[in-house]
Structure 1
Amino acid sequence: MSAPAAPTTTRTYSYLGPAGTFTEAALAQVPEAVGQNWRSVNNVGEALDDVVSGRSDAAMIAIENSVEGGVSVAQDALANIPGIQIIGEYLVSVNFVLVARPGTRIEDVRVINAHPVAYAQCHLWLDATLPNHEHIPASSNVAAASTLFEGSLADAAVAPPNITKHYDVELLAENLGDNPNAVTRFVLVSRTVVVSEPTGSDKTSLIVELPEDEAGSLLSLLEQFSTRGVNLSLIQSRPIGDALGRYRFVIDADGHIRDERVADALLGVKRFSPSVIFLGSYPRADKAVITHKTRYSNEVFADARDWLRGIVSGETASSD
């Protein structure tokens, strides 16, 4: 008689809801999340609090947009909520449709519901197509459409393309986005875990404070990476909030903390900065292989350490 199957544990994932958001589309890319419990939340803070409190095993949040730049609310939350770590990133192409209550014609549209970020990414199309329109800000892309049925004064809404799967709306126009290459980067955040093994296509995220507000401080920070051959794909300043001129920097470095050059750079950053938050090393969404010059290989760093160890111990001559 075979042994009974081990019970499976259902995992919970928080995401910015309701159903139909770009965040939900990002979560759908996570193989481990398929068939698990998805918890819709109202904002980034609630999603991260779910993780910290244990209500959820992980949370999907937007961190960067190719048009609008870094998502400041997410970056600030990661700087102020301890005990969490990025374990993966996912890319979602961003475009929008114009929808309305059934029976509405596009020539009847005068007032439009739209999240401010979505509106900014579609305003050229809207200005050209509906030059006399008015804009009512919405709390989210999905809420822009859902409130059409809740007494909204708007005639139409700017919403994600899959909104028609969730609401009985009339599709008036597609491909509203002014930039067809717009992409939003999402990260999956969990409680602090043991760092995974490097894949050769990784990214390491940090939040770093400058020690002093003086000439050359930022240059000194950047040199910690450039002298080790570590490329930065993102560096963005955010105010610390305790005084004018005080900033922290959100940094994405190419490579993994287990790579010798990245580890050495992080040691330099730690010696330099009064506050360093390690947000995680994780596989890149684009799968791009990280390349570097030979002098920055793991073997060269290891050889240099052995050389120094030999000098200190007297095993080798200092001229080697």
Structure 2
Amino acid sequence: MKRVTERRTYSYLGPAGTFTEAALDQVAEAWGQERRPVLNVGEALADVLEGRSFAAMIAIENSIEGGVSTTQDALATLPGLRIIGEYLVKVNFVLVAAPGTKLEDVTSIAAHPVAYAQCHGWLGEHLPRHSHVPAASNVASAIGVLDGTLPAQAAIAPPGIAEHYDVDVLASEIGDNTSAVTRFVLVTRTATPPMPTGADKTSLIVELPNDRPGSLLEMLEQFSTRGINLSLIESRPIGDELGRYRFVLDADGHVHDERMADALLGIRRFSPRVVFLGSYPRADRQIVHYPDRYADDVFVEARDWLRDLLSGAPEE
């Protein structure tokens, strides 16, 4: 791993103690560097594009809620960005309050809407008559309760909240799904993709040319006919008219792989707009396996065969 000698700034959804910061903690290159807490994804990406930060850590997918639409839409519409890594953070929550507060005192709960949705079961069982006060982040919910800016007696927050703030933990492990995971990506300005590791992922956003039968199938066939698995397919409205969609795709493999490069050429011929978000190492580091007929040398041999045909070389 290349040692970073220059001082760099990394933006993340703050304040300190969020799941986003936990993802940033996994980036070895960011250890000991400057951290810039921001209020939202748009601010984080603006930091990168305007040069205030080298990179930004943003949430892109949750195993319960699916894709993060604000992130997907921002990456689709802001040119000049590139994903250089992905990181997984296990997600669970605690219910916290100002010191001395008891569970029976709680009638209103501050929580980020995504966190709130993942705790419905526990809340319905233990606090069935509570009201919800939306918060900007999982940590902002606790801060709002402590400083009185949010009209709630308790907050749903990350488990590490007590390390940063003076709170009482009223309940732990309140998430409905203990296997919940959020996927984060580290985004920087457009750069040359890192060399393939064999355990890589390629992300892109593709617009369908028009609303007609078979257009989605045609897009998917660009990958299936080359033996490429898609681990994520999500649609987002383009917004200019009904029936117009863009698709957020994660494909197993790297742009330097012959089969992936061939698929991207097919996609580019098919789609009026393709946003290449990057090829980067998978968080789970699992090697991507594929049938031998899709190996790089098969694509190279086919291309050499066609070149020989065009040049008039005799067939062997």
TM-score (norm 2): 0.97
> Mapping of 1:40-189 within 5 angstroms?
40-151=37-148, 152-189=150-187
Letter of the 1:97 counterpart: V
The whole-number CA distance in structure 2 between the counterparts of 1:9 and 1:139 is 32
The whole-number CA distance in structure 1 between the counterparts of 2:238 and 2:215 is 16
Structure 2: state its 5+ residue gaps: none
Deviation string 1:252-276 (CA, Å, 9 cap, x unpaired) is: 0000000011100000000000100
Answer whether contact 1:307 1:316 (CA < 8 A) is retained. Answer: no
The one of 240, 243, 246 equivalent to 1:245 is: 243
Structure 1: state its 5+ residue gaps: 1-6
SS in 1 for 2:261: helix
Residue range with higher mean Cα deviation, 82-91 or 129-138: 129-138
> Mapping of 1:280-295 within 5 angstroms?
280-295=278-293
Letter of the 2:89 counterpart: V
The whole-number CA distance in structure 2 between the counterparts of 1:284 and 1:316 is 44
> Mapping of 1:190-201 within 5 angstroms?
190-201=188-199
CA 1:78/1:200 → structure 2, altered by over 3 Å: closer, same or farther? same
SS in 1 for 2:145: helix
1:107 positional shift:
2.1
1:97 positional shift:
0.1
1:306 positional shift:
1.2
Give the corresponding residue for 1:308: 306
Letter of the 1:9 counterpart: E
1:131 positional shift:
1.7
Letter of the 1:306 counterpart: D
Give the corresponding residue for 1:19: 16
> Mapping of 1:262-277 within 5 angstroms?
262-277=260-275
Letter of the 1:252 counterpart: D
Answer whether contact 1:18 1:41 (CA < 8 A) is retained. Answer: yes
1:176 positional shift:
0.6
SS in 2 for 1:238: strand
Percent of pairs identical after alignment?
68
Answer whether contact 2:97 2:146 (CA < 8 A) is retained. Answer: no
The whole-number CA distance in structure 2 between the counterparts of 1:296 and 1:8 is 41
1:314 positional shift:
2.1
Q: CA RMSD in A?
A: 1.1
SS in 1 for 2:143: helix
Letter of the 2:272 counterpart: P
The whole-number CA distance in structure 1 between the counterparts of 2:265 and 2:13 is 35
1:150 positional shift:
2.1
Letter of the 1:220 counterpart: E
Give the corresponding residue for 1:29: 26
Letter of the 2:142 counterpart: A
SS in 2 for 1:234: strand
SS in 1 for 2:83: strand
Deviation string 1:42-68 (CA, Å, 9 cap, x unpaired) is: 110111011011110000000000000
Letter of the 1:74 counterpart: T
TM-score (norm 1): 0.96
Deviation string 1:179-212 (CA, Å, 9 cap, x unpaired) is: 1110000000001111111000000000110011
SS in 2 for 1:186: strand
The whole-number CA distance in structure 1 between the counterparts of 2:301 and 2:214 is 32
The whole-number CA distance in structure 2 between the counterparts of 1:141 and 1:179 is 17
Letter of the 1:157 counterpart: A
Aligned residues: 312
The whole-number CA distance in structure 1 between the counterparts of 2:146 and 2:177 is 29
The whole-number CA distance in structure 2 between the counterparts of 1:202 and 1:8 is 26
Answer whether contact 1:213 1:245 (CA < 8 A) is retained. Answer: yes
The whole-number CA distance in structure 1 between the counterparts of 2:5 and 2:247 is 41
